[in-house]
Amino acid sequence: MKTANVSTSTGPSDRTREVPGPTNPLKILDSLAVVSTYRHGKEICGQGTLAENWFCVISGAARRYVIRLDGRRQIIDLLLPGDFFGFTASPVCDFGVEAVNDGTIVASYSRRRAELLADSDPHLAREIRQATFEALSRLQCQLLIVGRITALEKVGSFILEMASRLPRGHHNSVALPVSRYDIADYLSVSVETVSRSLTDLKHRGVIKLSGTRTVEIINKEALEDGESLACNSTQAGTRYRAVA
């Protein structure tokens, strides 16, 4: 079902330049960078294609996802400016990546050439390592969010994570870069539940919504510990048994 691979970078309306973007933290890789611009929903990296490139978001946002056998989509990473992706243990991509918004700019690097460059440049090797550690950290953070119990906690944690990764606006407003559907597939809950949780948080006075995608955090503590969000917070503490 997947079309041709992306490495041609001549996609519809995708521009390719040899000049690296402004927010790329790995200056050493700039000589290999191929920068492309994608529109809303455009495929950056196809599930099932050969993993021949590494990528870095310059501006905009991208979603890494997997389509399950039952047709459901699971987003397994939200990529924001500065985030690297495309790291795989196998030679094949077991995920797809799409641009979230129009004008998303992504730098791609030939994996083979990047690794050759890293072989002769320990500093670059360390920076690549750091980038993979950060990808690991993002995934771990998402696992902790998805692993939460109630949908209210999941949505609350999601807002907090976005707030920590995105630049803040006035007060504590956060501009969510994705739709409710994307949030739903990121948290693996239904769209309706995401919407209900947001209005619930709004009614509780924890957040304020100015426009559908701008969240203002009123009560950060309530979001942080999901306890105060529980209807009947019966102090379910005795869960962890310290082993001697």
Q: Does the protein bind DNA through residue 101 (CB under 7 A)?
A: no
Q: Does the protein bind DNA through residue 234 (CB under 7 A)?
A: yes
Per-residue tokens: 5 = 């691979």
Q: How far is the CB of 38 from DNA (least distance, A)?
A: 15
- 120: which residues sit within 8 A by CB, 6+ positions away? none
* Among residues 132, 150, 179, 195, the one that binds a copy of itself under rule CB under 8 A: 132
The distance of Cα 183 from the centroid of its chain, to the nearest Å, equals 10
Rounded Cα distance, 72 and 35, in Å: 31
**8 Å CB contact between 53 and 111:** yes
Residue 170 binds which of DNA, a copy of itself, none (CB < 5-8 A, kind-dependent): none
Dihedral angle sign, alpha carbons of residues 131, 90, 14, 1: negative
Look at residue 213 and give its three-state secondary structure: coil
Q: Does the protein bind DNA through residue 10 (CB under 7 A)?
A: no
Residue 88 binds which of DNA, a copy of itself, none (CB < 5-8 A, kind-dependent): a copy of itself
Look at residue 66 and give its three-state secondary structure: strand
Shortest CA distance to 222 belongs to which of 132, 174, 153, 162?
Answer: 153
Residue 59 binds which of a copy of itself, DNA, none (CB < 5-8 A, kind-dependent): none
Q: Does the protein bind DNA through residue 133 (CB under 7 A)?
A: no
Rounded Cα distance, 220 and 233, in Å: 18
Q: Does the protein bind DNA through residue 179 (CB under 7 A)?
A: yes
How many Cβ atoms from other residues are within 10 Å of residue 77's Cβ?
18
Strands (E), 46-179: 53-59, 62-67, 73-79, 84-85, 96-99, 104-110, 173-175
Q: Does the protein bind DNA through residue 192 (CB under 7 A)?
A: yes
* Among residues 34, 125, 166, 209, the one that binds a copy of itself under rule CB under 8 A: 125
Residue 136 binds which of DNA, a copy of itself, none (CB < 5-8 A, kind-dependent): a copy of itself
Q: How far is the CB of 137 from DNA (least distance, A)?
A: 25
Residue 147 binds which of DNA, a copy of itself, none (CB < 5-8 A, kind-dependent): a copy of itself
Q: Does the protein bind DNA through residue 199 (CB under 7 A)?
A: yes
Q: Amino acid identity of 130? A: Q
Element (H, E) at 198: helix 191-203
Residues that bind a copy of itself (CB under 8 A): 40-42, 66-74, 76, 87-90, 94-95, 98, 115, 118-120, 122, 125-126, 128-130, 132-137, 139-140, 142-144, 146-149, 188, 224-227, 236-241, 243-244
Residues that bind DNA (CB under 7 A): 149-152, 179-181, 188-196, 198-199, 209, 212-213, 230-232, 234, 236, 238-239, 241, 244
